[in-house]
């Protein structure tokens, strides 16, 4: 029988950091991910807000930290069920393999909102409508495009929207947009950039300063109004319709490129496991026992949760949360 | 690539046995279309559809111009439902898009507020001693034609293809706002990429144009047309659409709402007369058809019995493009074969 | 009840009011695609905001203004609102209250209700149609063009070509709606508040007409039907 102190499901920033921390406590950890490589959604981003540090460097560091005999890494493994049996946790994958541990940590994270669902924005239909994730490939140089003369960023795509069933704010897309506008401006200094927002949520340290720089040093234009629809033009551009709510005036903007700032939904894995164990909120994220006092615990003994499988978090928040979860798990193991 | 995004997710559309409710606007401007629809249903498809002589307006245009209270329109509709119930039908087919929208809205309201349904029953009974069942299925005639588009195709003599070039005709489809904008799940394909007309066009050989103002309202705007002082609204919104589609050089426009069909036709004439502008290259304007007219033409129905001569934008260039046979001499004959003096020619628009 | 409470009560009483507006976040998505905002000095977002702020004086001003009469009732706003609101339906309720309190005669666009009631309203209860060729008079509708004139002139002998049964009492397009059905429609209007609304519109219009030293008759109708200060559009 494969027995571990803890099984961590999900090898994104949360899972990696939790594994690293538990390993430092000399706990035996099994770290599982359905992907072929570690890093989860960190792989989607090139540089990180607000300091433009490299995601790959961070990932390399995280990877180094788990490279020790206490951590067993299992990739390409899709956990489809979790059960508790006599104070032991079992995780079964789609091939029928079962893994056993004293504790289990859900770190299954988030999925990027599928922009196709917002039909009126024409993602997947008009080739110049892309998502913030697609843009990262352009910014990293992996995909090259001709210099666009006008680019529009659209905030809150798939967030704060009853129509797609997501009432929440995804928290990170505002600052991510600011980061991306600056990077795009650095790449294409002559490009005009318009950012359509409803509220700019600059909640983190130095975010507001970055927003100011994007305006002051890079001339990014911020328009307060949510985009209603995007349609094609004769010359292969797209036109956006919004209201400039500060002027009370409908406006149309023709752009060569539109970037949809897609939000963060509970990932498919988070939803499946949360549902199975009956520990999820209505929005699909996993519910901790108490947001203030026991934010890593779930209602099930020995089952813990960390990172964006709980709610939207930035990367530093996620990793801090993972350290916290690991400490709590270690304490729990000490009591047995 | 167009095919990929007009979703053909289905709503429920009854198979047979329909109660037909005529549209004030459609019968006023396109009575040939209503006749053609009934003919397609019975002669081409062998369906049972009933046309009650005691039917009347749903008052929808009055409701949307705010002179009819909710309770009144609910009860008037209830009378239509009571005729349907009395004749033994359960599937209601309103010819008008405004009606379709109203019926959807009110039956939805009754669903959430059974007390309001009860109240309507009381009012109808008090006024007329009538009772009614809420229809099992409400579908617009365009839904039904969409559903049976492949069956109709078997009987069609023509296709939506340019007979000289063999190319599919380029068609603008205009969906009336009240078809699916309020209740997207009640329209075939939803509100953003409704498939109901696209499905017909693509099955019958044509291609569809996607253009910037595709979803924009035709500009009817109820009180904004009904009152002369407001018609600038209507004109300007229609033109916004027409201007936006013109560069794509559509062969024709097809609409599922009779109001839209009429406005897009008449405002082209108005602009041509006021400003000398037409939205095609040759000065004829872009023909605007009802979906019944589009289907009827392909089935080989006589264009002059469909009523194409009472559109202001004339259809002959389109008929020639498809290769539809017609008799020019018969165009302005009356029902008894008498040759009438033709309508006056506009100054700018070529007819 | 004082006027202020009356306005709020009347709004609150309408089932459509709460359906139309729960909580607006002022995003402007509705205004972005609104055909009325495109043409008029009109902003459905701003209207939602005024109503949700609940300042009765401002709401009263709104009820007396041209603003609420600009909407074209296309319901495009309903499709998109990320909060599930329907500004177009909010407008319906505001217009209803404006008529019930007689505020509609305070604005040029509001006064037009008299013409609509006389033309469409009377047509419904007299003939059973909202629209019928008989009321689309070419002289009031120049945009209908020469073909419409031709059709109207020859309607009796041309309409049958399209399968219509113009003015006949049998099933078909343009039939005469039978007397029994008309009677039933009238009784429905009697019991369901339809007549009451007509009377209200007429009563307040009569009052307004007298300010112009007119009766609410054909002249007043033509006045409200054609008056255009030119101040409405963008
Ligand atoms: S973070 Fe900004 S863009 Fe993202 S959902 Fe919240 S408000 Fe919208
Ligand atoms: S779309 Fe909805 S939330 Fe946005 S401004 Fe309009 S009513 Fe308010
Ligand atoms: S219903 Fe009225 S407010 Fe809504 S989009 Fe149409 S015209 Fe504008």
Could you give the CA distance from residue A227 to residue A253 in angstroms, rounded to a whole number? 10
Asked if residues A158 and A201 have their Cβ atoms less than 8 Å apart, the reply is no
Q: Is the pLDDT at B1 greater than 50, yes or no?
A: no
What pLDDT is recorded for position C213?
Answer: 81
Which domain CATH number covers B53?
A: 1.20.1050.140
Q: Is the pLDDT at B4 greater than 60, yes or no?
A: no
Q: Which of the listed residues C66, C101, C136 is the one where a domain comes to its end?
A: C101
CB contact under 8 A, C174 and B221: no
Query: Which two three-digit tokens encode residue A53?
Result: 């540090």
Mean of the per-residue pLDDT values of chain C: 95
- Chain segment C155-203, per-residue pLDDT in tens: 999 999 999 999 999 999 999 999 999 999 999 999 999 999 999 999 9
User: Within this chain, do residues B190 and B306 fall inside the same structural domain, yes or no?
Assistant: yes
* Percent of chain B residues past pLDDT 90, beyond the cut: 96
Query: Which two three-digit tokens encode residue A88?
Result: 């032991």
Q: Which domain holds residue C184?
A: 108-226
User: Within this chain, do residues A159 and A33 fall inside the same structural domain, yes or no?
Assistant: no
Tell me the chain C residues in contact with residue B54 when contact means C-beta distances shorter than 8 Å.
177-178, 180-181
First-residue to last-residue Cα distance in chain C = 39
Using the Cβ of A229 and the Cβ atoms of chain C, whether some distance falls under 8 Å is answered with yes
Query: Which two three-digit tokens encode residue A26?
Result: 């000399």
Other Cβ atoms less than 10 A from the Cβ of A209: the count is: 11
User: Within this chain, do residues C51 and C129 fall inside the same structural domain, yes or no?
Assistant: no
Q: Which residue from C minimizes the CA distance to B32?
A: C162
Q: Which of the listed residues A247, A264, A281 is the one where a domain comes to its end?
A: A264
Mean pLDDT for C81-110 is 98
- Chain segment B277-318, per-residue pLDDT in tens: 999 999 999 999 999 999 999 999 999 999 999 999 999 999
Q: Tell me how far the alpha carbon of residue A221 lies from the centroid of ligand 1, in angstroms.
A: 17
- Chain segment A50-72, per-residue pLDDT in tens: 999 999 999 999 999 999 999 99
What pLDDT is recorded for position B24?
Answer: 95
Q: Tell me how far the alpha carbon of residue A156 lies from the centroid of ligand 2, in angstroms.
A: 14
Neighbour subunits, A (≥3 Cβ pairs < 8 A): B, C
The pLDDT confidence band at residue B2, using thresholds 50, 70 and 90, is very low
By most ligand atoms within 8 Å of CB, the mutation choice from C29, C31, C33, C34 for ligand 3 is: C34
User: Within this chain, do residues A96 and A126 fall inside the same structural domain, yes or no?
Assistant: no
Other Cβ atoms less than 10 A from the Cβ of C181: the count is: 19
Q: Is the pLDDT at A85 greater than 90, yes or no?
A: no
Classify burial at A213, counting beta carbons within 10 Å of its beta carbon; exposed 0-12, middle 13-18, buried 19 or more: middle
Q: Is the pLDDT at C221 greater than 70, yes or no?
A: yes
Helix, strand or coil, per DSSP, at residue A4: strand
Which domain CATH number covers B164?
A: 3.40.50.11810
Neighbour subunits, B (≥3 Cβ pairs < 8 A): A, C
Number of domains chain A is built from:
2
DSSP one-letter code for C175:
P
Q: Which domain holds residue B276?
A: 157-330
Give A306's Cβ-side CA count (13 Å radius): 32
Q: Tell me how far the alpha carbon of residue C77 lies from the centroid of ligand 2, in angstroms.
A: 8
Asked if residues A319 and A14 have their Cβ atoms less than 8 Å apart, the reply is yes
Which residue in the block uniquely carries the two structure tokens 């961590």? A8
The pLDDT confidence band at residue C2, using thresholds 50, 70 and 90, is confident
User: Within this chain, do residues B59 and B106 fall inside the same structural domain, yes or no?
Assistant: yes
User: Within this chain, do residues A260 and A116 fall inside the same structural domain, yes or no?
Assistant: yes
| Any ligand 1 atom below 6 A from CB of A176 | no
* Percent of chain A residues past pLDDT 90, beyond the cut: 97
DSSP A69-103: TTEEEE-S--EEEEEEETTEEEEEETTS-EEEEEE
Could you give the CA distance from residue A19 to residue C71 in angstroms, rounded to a whole number? 59
Distances from the Cα of A55 to the Cα of A40, A46, A51, B41, B276, angstroms: 11, 6, 11, 63, 61
What pLDDT is recorded for position C65?
Answer: 98
Q: Is the pLDDT at B49 greater than 90, yes or no?
A: yes
Number of domains chain C is built from:
2
Q: Which of the listed residues A209, A240, A264 is the one where a domain comes to its end?
A: A264
Tell me the chain B residues in contact with residue A233 when contact means C-beta distances shorter than 8 Å.
212
Q: Are strands A249-255 and B252-255 parallel, antiparallel or unpaired?
A: unpaired
Tell me the chain B residues in contact with residue C95 when contact means C-beta distances shorter than 8 Å.
66
Q: Which of the listed residues C101, C134, C156 is the one where a domain comes to its end?
A: C101
| Any ligand 3 atom below 6 A from CB of C36 | yes
User: Within this chain, do residues A128 and A204 fall inside the same structural domain, yes or no?
Assistant: yes
Helix (H) or strand (E) holding A248: none
Q: Is the pLDDT at C47 greater than 50, yes or no?
A: yes
CB contact under 8 A, C32 and A229: yes
Q: Which of the listed residues C51, C76, C101 is the one where a domain comes to its end?
A: C101
User: Within this chain, do residues B222 and B326 fall inside the same structural domain, yes or no?
Assistant: yes
User: Within this chain, do residues B133 and B177 fall inside the same structural domain, yes or no?
Assistant: no
Could you give the CA distance from residue C84 to residue C201 in angstroms, rounded to a whole number? 32
Among A119, A124, A231, beta carbon nearest to B214: A231
Q: Is the peptide bond before A50 cis (omega within 30 degrees of 0)?
A: yes
Residue whose C-alpha is closest to residue A12's, from A35, A39, A49: A39
User: Within this chain, do residues C122 and C92 fall inside the same structural domain, yes or no?
Assistant: no
Could you give the CA distance from residue B228 to residue B218 in angstroms, rounded to a whole number? 17
Residue whose C-alpha is closest to residue B244's, from C144, C42, C38: C38
- Chain segment B218-265, per-residue pLDDT in tens: 999 999 999 999 999 999 999 999 999 999 999 999 999 999 999 999
Q: Which of the listed residues B83, B105, B139 is the one where a domain comes to its end?
A: B139
Using the Cβ of A248 and the Cβ atoms of chain C, whether some distance falls under 8 Å is answered with yes
CB contact under 8 A, A228 and C33: yes
Asked if residues B71 and C193 have their Cβ atoms less than 8 Å apart, the reply is yes
Q: Which domain holds residue A279?
A: 3-109+267-334
Q: Is the pLDDT at B8 greater than 70, yes or no?
A: no
User: Within this chain, do residues A54 and A128 fall inside the same structural domain, yes or no?
Assistant: no
User: Within this chain, do residues A58 and A170 fall inside the same structural domain, yes or no?
Assistant: no
Among A160, A163, A242, beta carbon nearest to C32: A242
Using the Cβ of B217 and the Cβ atoms of chain C, whether some distance falls under 8 Å is answered with yes
Tell me the chain A residues in contact with residue B211 when contact means C-beta distances shorter than 8 Å.
231-232, 234
Mean pLDDT for A138-164 is 97
DSSP B321-348: HHT----GGGTTB-TTSPBPPPPPPPSS
Distances from the Cα of B345 to the Cα of B208, C139, C178, angstroms: 32, 17, 38
Residue whose C-alpha is closest to residue A314's, from A204, A183, A198: A204
- Chain segment C70-81, per-residue pLDDT in tens: 999 999 999 999
Among A119, A120, A233, beta carbon nearest to B212: A233
Does the residue C232 lie in any domain? Answer: no
Using the Cβ of B241 and the Cβ atoms of chain C, whether some distance falls under 8 Å is answered with no
CB contact under 8 A, B31 and C163: yes
Classify burial at A260, counting beta carbons within 10 Å of its beta carbon; exposed 0-12, middle 13-18, buried 19 or more: buried
User: Within this chain, do residues B168 and B129 fall inside the same structural domain, yes or no?
Assistant: no
Which domain CATH number covers A13?
A: 3.50.50.60
Mean pLDDT for A307-334 is 97
User: Within this chain, do residues C17 and C67 fall inside the same structural domain, yes or no?
Assistant: yes
Does the residue B340 lie in any domain? Answer: no
Among B31, B68, B74, beta carbon nearest to C159: B31
Mutation target to probe the C interface, by most C beta carbons within 10 A, among A199, A245, A247, A263 is: A245
What pLDDT is recorded for position B7?
Answer: 66
Mean pLDDT for B47-53 is 97
Q: Is the pLDDT at C144 greater than 70, yes or no?
A: yes
Q: Please tell me the residue having the least CA distance from ligand 1 atom 4.
A: A173
What pLDDT is recorded for position C4?
Answer: 81
Among C25, C31, C83, beta carbon nearest to A243: C31
Which residues' Cβ are closer than 6 Å to ligand 2?
A: C 24-30, 45, 48, 81-83, 85, 87
User: Within this chain, do residues B249 and B311 fall inside the same structural domain, yes or no?
Assistant: yes
Q: Please tell me the residue having the least CA distance from ligand 3 atom 8.
A: C34
Tell me the chain A residues in contact with residue B193 when contact means C-beta distances shorter than 8 Å.
119
- Chain segment B88-144, per-residue pLDDT in tens: 999 999 999 999 999 999 999 999 999 999 999 999 999 999 999 999 999 999 999
| Any ligand 3 atom below 6 A from CB of C80 | no
Q: Is the pLDDT at C234 greater than 90, yes or no?
A: no
Q: Please tell me the residue having the least CA distance from ligand 2 atom 6.
A: C30
Could you give the CA distance from residue A249 to residue A225 in angstroms, rounded to a whole number? 10
User: Within this chain, do residues A116 and A95 fall inside the same structural domain, yes or no?
Assistant: no
Q: Which atom of ligand 2 is nearest to the CA of A245?
A: 5
pTM of the entire predicted model: 0.95
Q: Which atom of ligand 1 is nearest to the CA of A168?
A: 5
Helix, strand or coil, per DSSP, at residue B187: coil
First-residue to last-residue Cα distance in chain B = 36
Q: Is the pLDDT at C1 greater than 90, yes or no?
A: no
What pLDDT is recorded for position B3?
Answer: 42
Chain A interface, Cβ < 8 Å to B: 119-120, 122, 124-125, 229, 231-234, 239
What pLDDT is recorded for position A2?
Answer: 61
| Any ligand 1 atom below 6 A from CB of A167 | no
Which residue in the block uniquely carries the two structure tokens 């702020």? C53
For chain C, the C-alpha Rg in angstroms (whole number) is 20
Helix (H) or strand (E) holding B126: helix B114-128
- Chain segment A233-248, per-residue pLDDT in tens: 999 999 999 999 999 9
Could you give the CA distance from residue A228 to residue A241 in angstroms, rounded to a whole number? 6
Tell me the chain B residues in contact with residue A115 when contact means C-beta distances shorter than 8 Å.
none
Residue whose C-alpha is closest to residue A22's, from A333, A334, A326, A331: A326
Phi, psi dihedral angles at B157 (to 5 degrees): -95, -20
DSSP B12-54: P--SS-EEEE--HHHHHHHHHHHHHHHHIIIIIT---EEE-TT
User: Within this chain, do residues A274 and A239 fall inside the same structural domain, yes or no?
Assistant: no
Tell me the chain A residues in contact with residue B215 when contact means C-beta distances shorter than 8 Å.
229, 231
């Amino acid at each position: 029988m494969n027995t571990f102190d803890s099984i961590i499901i999900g090898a994104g920033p949360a899972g990696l950091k939790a594994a690293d921390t538990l390993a430092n406590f000399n706990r035996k950890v099994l770290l599982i991910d359905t992907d072929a490589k570690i890093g989860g959604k960190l792989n989607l981003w090139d540089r990180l807000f607000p300091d433009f540090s490299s995601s790959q460097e961070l990932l390399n560091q995280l990877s180094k930290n788990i490279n020790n005999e206490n951590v067993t890494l299992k990739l390409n493994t899709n956990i489809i069920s979790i059960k508790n049996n006599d104070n032991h946790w079992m995780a079964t994958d789609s091939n029928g393999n079962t893994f056993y541990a004293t504790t289990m940590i859900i770190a299954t994270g988030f999925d990027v909102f599928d922009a196709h669902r917002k039909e009126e924005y024409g993602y997947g239909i008009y080739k110049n409508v892309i998502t913030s994730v697609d843009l990262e490939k352009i910014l990293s140089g992996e995909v090259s495009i001709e210099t666009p003369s006008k680019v529009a960023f659209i905030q809150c795509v798939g967030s704060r929207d009853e129509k797609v069933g997501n009432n929440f704010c995804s928290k990170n897309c505002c600052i991510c947009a600011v980061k991306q506008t600056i990077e795009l401006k650095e790449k294409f200094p002559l490009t005009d950039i318009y950012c359509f927002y409803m509220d700019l949520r600059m909640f983190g340290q130095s975010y507001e300063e970055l927003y100011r720089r994007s305006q002051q040093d890079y001339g990014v234009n911020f328009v307060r109004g949510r985009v209603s629809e995007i349609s094609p033009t004769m010359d292969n551009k797209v036109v956006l319709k919004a209201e400039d709510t500060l002027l009370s005036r409908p406006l149309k903007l023709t752009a060569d490129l539109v970037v949809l700032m897609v939000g963060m939904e509970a990932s498919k894995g988070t939803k499946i496991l949360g549902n199975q164990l009956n520990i999820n909120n209505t929005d699909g994220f996993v519910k901790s026992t108490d947001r203030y006092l026991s934010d890593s615990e779930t209602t099930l003994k020995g089952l813990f949760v960390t990172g964006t499988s709980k709610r939207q978090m930035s990367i530093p928040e996620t990793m801090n949360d993972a350290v916290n979860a690991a400490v709590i798990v270690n304490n729990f193991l000490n009591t047995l | 690539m167009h095919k990929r995004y007009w979703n053909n997710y289905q709503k429920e559309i009854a198979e047979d046995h329909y109660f037909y409710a005529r549209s004030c606007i459609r019968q006023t401007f396109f009575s040939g279309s209503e006749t053609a629809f009934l003919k397609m249903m019975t002669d081409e498809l062998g369906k049972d559809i009933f046309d009650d002589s005691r039917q009347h307006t749903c008052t929808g245009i009055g409701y949307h111009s705010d002179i009819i209270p909710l309770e009144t329109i609910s009860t008037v509709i209830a009378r239509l439902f009571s005729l349907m119930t009395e004749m033994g039908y359960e599937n209601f087919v309103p010819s008008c898009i405004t009606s379709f929208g109203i019926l959807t809205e009110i039956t939805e309201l009754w669903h959430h507020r059974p007390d309001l349904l009860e109240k309507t029953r009381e009012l109808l009974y008090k006024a007329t001693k009538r009772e009614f069942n809420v229809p099992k299925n409400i579908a617009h005639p365009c839904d039904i034609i969409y559903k049976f588009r492949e069956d109709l195709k078997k009987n069609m003599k023509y296709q939506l293809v340019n007979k000289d070039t063999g190319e599919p005709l380029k068609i603008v489809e205009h969906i009336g706002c009240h078809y699916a904008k309020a209740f997207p799940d009640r329209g075939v394909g939803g509100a953003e990429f409704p498939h109901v007309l696209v499905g017909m066009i693509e099955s019958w050989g044509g291609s569809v144009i996607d253009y910037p103002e595709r979803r924009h309202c035709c500009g009817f705007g109820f009180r904004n047309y009904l009152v002369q002082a407001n018609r600038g609204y209507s004109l300007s919104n229609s033109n916004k659409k027409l201007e936006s589609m013109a560069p794509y050089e559509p062969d024709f426009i097809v609409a599922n709402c009779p109001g839209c069909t009429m406005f897009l036709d008449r405002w082209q004439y108005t602009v041509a007369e006021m400003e000398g502008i037409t939205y095609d290259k040759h000065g004829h304007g872009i023909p605007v058809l009802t979906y019944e007219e589009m289907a009827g033409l392909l089935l080989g129905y006589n264009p002059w019995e469909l009523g194409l001569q009472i559109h202001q934008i004339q259809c002959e260039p389109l008929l020639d493009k498809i290769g539809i046979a017609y008799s020019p001499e018969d165009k302005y004959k009356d029902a008894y074969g008498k040759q009438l003096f033709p309508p006056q020619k506009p100054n700018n628009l070529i007819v | 009840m004082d006027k202020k409470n009356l306005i709020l009560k009347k709004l609150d009483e309408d089932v459509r009011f709460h359906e139309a507006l729960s909580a607006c976040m002022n995003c402007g998505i509705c205004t972005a695609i609104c055909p009325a905002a495109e043409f008029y000095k009109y902003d459905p977002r701003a209207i939602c905001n005024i109503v949700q702020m609940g300042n009765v004086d401002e709401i009263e001003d709104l009820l007396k203004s041209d603003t609420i009469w600009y909407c074209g009732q296309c319901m495009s706003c309903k499709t998109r609102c990320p909060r599930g609101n329907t500004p177009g339906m909010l407008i319906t309720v505001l217009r209803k209250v404006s008529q019930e309190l007689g505020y509609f005669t305070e604005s040029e666009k509001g006064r037009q209700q008299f013409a609509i009631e006389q033309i469409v309203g009377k047509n419904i209860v007299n003939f059973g149609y909202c629209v019928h060729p008989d009321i689309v008079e070419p002289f009031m509708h120049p945009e209908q063009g020469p073909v419409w004139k031709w059709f109207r002139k020859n309607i009796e002998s041309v309409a049958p070509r399209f399968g219509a049964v113009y003015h006949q009492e049998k099933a078909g397009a343009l039939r005469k709606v039978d007397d029994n059905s008309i009677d039933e429609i009238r009784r429905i209007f009697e019991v369901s508040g339809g007549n009451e609304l007509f009377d209200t519109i007429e009563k307040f219009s009569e009052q307004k007409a007298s300010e112009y030293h007119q009766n609410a008759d054909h002249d007043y109708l033509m006045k409200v039907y054609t008056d255009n200060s030119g101040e409405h559009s963008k």
